[in-house]
């Protein structure tokens, strides 16, 4: 079936005329947005083929130039090459991840090797590299500004990192490795998505629903109905899985749900075991090609952390600081469970969410079900957008004339405080079969400047939030509302970008710096002044009561030690995979257990795996970089302390954060950008104080 489909596409790619392909035209749409209503699956492959052809022609033009290499005729020309290819890829991969289907997945298996081959053809082009190096070696005589110097440095280093300085035999090895890695990344992500979508647990009796709130049962009944089934359907999608584990009093069903979730892509048709082992092995091979002992060492030299030793020190220091607190929390939940059940019970991973939620409710009389009515999606949207208005003066205008790739998506034009157009923002909130799990921000088009033209970005934020049920709107959990803020912080980083070159715009920064603009916004969720701007009961319109806000504040550090160790578990596993110095020679379960033993509070569960669904590091760009979430927590707590000192909505502080951080993208070293805002390097003190670990 796959071969037939691809054969049809190949034939189509040869016969489809450019006149009928939207990618070959300038978009005559509002803000030149993508005309999704006109784009069909058969348009992609010819656009990719022509895009690669044009991009190669751009490269040939640079290398055949008889003039001496200059910043303009080499670096800028390279930066501006491949317009059609970028245009096509940005559309294709965003749609693949958010509204994919079998045809697009099959097509991606054809397209990915093509893109990898083209990328290698550019980075391993000896003539092109010589021109880039000639400009780089002459940098001090070119009178470049800081942004131009950064572009030149980035361009030169990208060639070095992509094998330009390797011997011919090693170049061929690099070409082979990078091509296979790109394919493995795609396979890994699709296996996770297919494995996630393949699980269903249909419940039909009332005793199986014990403990579940009405809102959870309503959503499950609606999910069953949408599949033509009677009963209550639970899946591994976050809005289904998370509340089931939190509220179900059926321990046997929680165990079933947990074990199936924790073994996604572990065995069977969608197994990622061989995929991830091969990925780790190839990354090691690639690092060793360049003379590094492991992959992390190669990657981290271009990060704020600089090397694996600094990362491991951060992870170990935090483990030491938070473990005593986490053990106290574990003991408290254990004791509560014993008292609740009237018998001894050993807390297992499928018990933690349930009993810890019960303890939290007992201590603070607060739960998702108490808070949900105050967080209808439309109100949260108003609050999140309103925060950007309050801080930066931004205005958001929904424009139904802008085409979207799915009817659930909304498109907004974003305007600055002076009424100037800034960006298009697409929002995509709810899970569906064609969408990857999780939440993320991406671009359909980045920001860049040429002459007097400032080409503004088209940004997308994607989430998998609770759907509306019956006559109720989508009522978000507190965590979902916080996730919205997080992804919106990334969106602001993209929308407020004010740089010259697309490759350095918005979130094109070091991986351990990119989470600062997102995580700093999460701090507002615990602030009454912010919650009062939007949090109101969806039926009565009553503002969220002050006592509830106090409970939110009081409970904000509940199980913060456990939460920290959980993040450190991911960070340590990531570092373990990427500091290996020989291929994995032990079973995956044993490897994971050894990597995470210092952060585990509960027994490891056989036939489960973190790694097989760890898309961040095997399909999402965070390889040897997952620590960056904790690294950025240090930054965001330190940065938010300035807002706390000067006022949550202080315009001067916000303007400084915008000018020093959000607008500058990757145009300078991130520590320079941070110190421009803060006046000093960050310390761990603010985070430890916020978490209640230090006074």
Give percent above pLDDT 90 in the chain: 94
What gap in Å lies between CA 66 and CA 351, rounded to an integer? Answer: 70
pLDDT tens digits, 268-284: 999 999 999 999 999 99
Mean pLDDT score, 519-531: 96
What gap in Å lies between CA 121 and CA 462, rounded to an integer? Answer: 33
Choose among 619, 638, 636, 616: nearest CA to 627.
Answer: 616
pLDDT tens digits, 587-639: 999 999 999 999 999 999 999 999 999 999 999 999 999 999 999 999 999 99
pLDDT tens digits, 42-62: 999 999 999 999 999 999 999
Mean pLDDT score, 30-46: 97
Average pLDDT, the chain: 95
Q: Which tokens is 610 given?
A: 């973190």
E strand intervals along 133-252: 201-203, 232-234
- Look at residue 221 and tell me whether its pLDDT is greater than 90: yes
- Look at residue 660 and tell me whether its pLDDT is greater than 90: yes
Question: What pLDDT does 695 receive?
Answer: 65
What gap in Å lies between CA 619 and CA 505, rounded to an integer? Answer: 22
In the chain, how long is the greatest CA-to-CA distance? 85
Mean pLDDT score, 136-141: 97
What gap in Å lies between CA 56 and CA 48, rounded to an integer? Answer: 12
Question: What pLDDT does 694 receive?
Answer: 75
Torsion of CA 161, 166, 168, 172, to 10 degrees: -40
Q: Going from the N-terminus, what domains does the chain have, and what CATH number goes with each? A: 2-165 (1.10.1370.40), 199-263 (no CATH), 373-556 (1.10.1370.40)
1 band by pLDDT with thresholds 50, 70 and 90? very low
Question: What pLDDT does 692 receive?
Answer: 87
Cα of first residue to Cα of last residue in the chain, in angstroms, is 63
Catalytic machinery residues: 487
Choose the weakest-confidence range: 96-110, 254-268, 676-690.
676-690
228, β-bridge pairs: none
pLDDT tens digits, 548-573: 999 999 999 999 999 999 999 999 99
Choose among 72, 12, 71, 6: nearest CA to 47.
Answer: 12
454, β-bridge pairs: 449
Beta-carbon contacts of 528 under 8 Å, excluding residues fewer than 6 positions away, are: 546, 549, 553
Question: What pLDDT does 663 receive?
Answer: 98
Question: What pLDDT does 254 receive?
Answer: 98
Question: What pLDDT does 171 receive?
Answer: 95
What gap in Å lies between CA 596 and CA 568, rounded to an integer? Answer: 8
35 band by pLDDT with thresholds 50, 70 and 90? very high
What gap in Å lies between CA 283 and CA 281, rounded to an integer? Answer: 5
pLDDT tens digits, 397-445: 999 999 999 999 999 999 999 999 999 999 999 999 999 999 999 999 9
Question: What pLDDT does 17 receive?
Answer: 58
- Look at residue 15 and tell me whether its pLDDT is greater than 60: no
What gap in Å lies between CA 527 and CA 531, rounded to an integer? Answer: 6
Question: What pLDDT does 8 receive?
Answer: 42
pLDDT tens digits, 89-113: 999 999 999 999 999 999 999 999 9
DSSP string over 79-144: HT--HHHHHHHHHHHHHHHHH--HHHHHHHHHHHHHHHHHHHHHHT-HHHHHHHHHHHHTGGGS--
- Look at residue 3 and tell me whether its pLDDT is greater than 60: no
pLDDT tens digits, 159-182: 999 999 999 999 999 999 999 999
Residues in the chain: 695
**Residue 363 and residue 389 in contact, taking contact as beta carbons nearer than 8 Å:** no
- Look at residue 11 and tell me whether its pLDDT is greater than 80: no
- Look at residue 4 and tell me whether its pLDDT is greater than 50: no
- Look at residue 6 and tell me whether its pLDDT is greater than 50: no
């Amino acid at each position: 079936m796959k071969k037939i489909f691809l054969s049809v596409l190949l034939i189509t790619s040869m016969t489809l005329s450019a006149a009928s392909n939207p990618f070959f035209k300038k978009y005559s749409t509002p803000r030149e947005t993508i005309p999704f209503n006109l784009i069909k699956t058969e348009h992609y492959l010819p656009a990719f083929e022509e895009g690669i052809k044009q991009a190669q022609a751009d490269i040939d033009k640079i290398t055949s130039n008889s003039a001496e290499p200059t910043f303009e005729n080499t670096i800028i020309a390279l930066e501006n090459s491949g317009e059609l290819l970028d245009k096509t890829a940005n559309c294709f991969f965003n749609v693949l991840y958010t509204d994919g289907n079998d045809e697009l997945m099959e097509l991606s298996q054809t397209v990915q090797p093509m893109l990898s081959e083209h990328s290698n053809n550019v980075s391993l082009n000896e003539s092109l590299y010589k021109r880039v190096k000639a400009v780089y070696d002459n940098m001090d005589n070119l009178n470049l500004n800081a942004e131009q110097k950064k572009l030149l440095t980035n361009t030169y280093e990208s060639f070095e990192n992509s094998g330009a300085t390797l011997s011919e035999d090693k170049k061929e090895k690099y070409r082979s490795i990078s091509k296979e890695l790109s394919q493995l990344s795609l396979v890994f992500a699709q296996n996770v998505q297919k494995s996630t979508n393949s699980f269903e647990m249909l419940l039909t009796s009332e005793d199986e629903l014990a403990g579940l709130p009405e809102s959870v049962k309503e959503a499950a009944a609606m999910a069953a109905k949408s599949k033509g089934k009677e009963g209550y359907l639970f899946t591994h999608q976050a809005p289904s899985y998370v509340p089931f584990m939190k509220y179900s009093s059926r321990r046997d069903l929680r165990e079933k749900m947990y074990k199936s979730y924790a073994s996604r892509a572990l065995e069977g048709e969608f197994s990622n075991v061989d995929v991830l082992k091969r990925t780790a092995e190839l990354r090691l091979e690639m690092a060793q090609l360049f003379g590094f002992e492991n992959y992390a060492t190669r990657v981290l030299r271009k990060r704020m952390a600089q090397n694996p030793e600094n990362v491991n020190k951060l992870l170990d220091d935090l483990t030491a600081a938070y473990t005593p607190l986490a053990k106290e929390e574990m003991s408290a939940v254990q004791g509560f469970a014993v008292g609740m059940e009237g018998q001894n019970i050993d807390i297992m991973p499928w018990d933690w969410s349930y009993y810890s939620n019960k303890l939290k409710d007992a201590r603070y009389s607060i739960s998702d079900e108490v808070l949900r009515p105050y967080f209808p999606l439309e109100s949260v949207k108003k609050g999140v957008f309103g925060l950007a208005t309050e801080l930066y003066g931004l205005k958001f205008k929904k424009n139904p004339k802008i085409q979207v790739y799915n009817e659930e998506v909304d498109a907004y034009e974003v305007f600055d405080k002076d009424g100037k157009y800034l960006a298009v923002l697409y929002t995509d909130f709810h899970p569906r079969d064609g969408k990857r799990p999780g939440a993320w921000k991406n671009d359909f088009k980045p920001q860049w400047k040429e002459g007097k033209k400032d080409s503004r970005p088209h940004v997308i934020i994607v989430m998998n939030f609770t759907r509306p049920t019956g006559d109720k709107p989508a009522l978000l959990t507190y965590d979902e509302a916080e996730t919205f803020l997080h992804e919106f912080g990334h969106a602001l980083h993209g929308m407020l970008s004010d740089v010259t070159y697309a490759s350095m715009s918005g979130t094109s920064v070091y991986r351990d710096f990119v989470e600062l603009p997102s995580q700093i916004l999460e701090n507002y969720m615990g602030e009454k002044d912010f919650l009062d701007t939007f949090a109101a009961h969806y039926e009565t319109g009553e503002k969220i009561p002050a006592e509830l806000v106090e409970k939110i504040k009081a409970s904000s550090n509940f199980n913060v030690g456990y939460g920290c160790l959980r993040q450190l578990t991911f960070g340590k596993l990531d570092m373990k995979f990427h500091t290996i110095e020989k291929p994995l020679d032990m079973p995956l379960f044993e490897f994971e257990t050894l990597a995470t033993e210092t952060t585990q509070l509960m027994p490891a569960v056989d036939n489960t795996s973190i790694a097989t669904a760890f898309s961040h590091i095997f399909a999402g760009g965070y390889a040897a970089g997952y620590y960056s979430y904790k690294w950025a927590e240090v930054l965001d707590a330190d940065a938010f302390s300035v807002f706390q000192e000067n006022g949550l909505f202080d315009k001067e502080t916000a303007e400084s954060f915008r000018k020093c951080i959000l607008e500058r993208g990757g145009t300078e070293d991130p520590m320079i950008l941070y110190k421009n805002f803060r006046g000093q390097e960050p310390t761990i003190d603010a985070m430890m104080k916020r978490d209640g670990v230090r006074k």
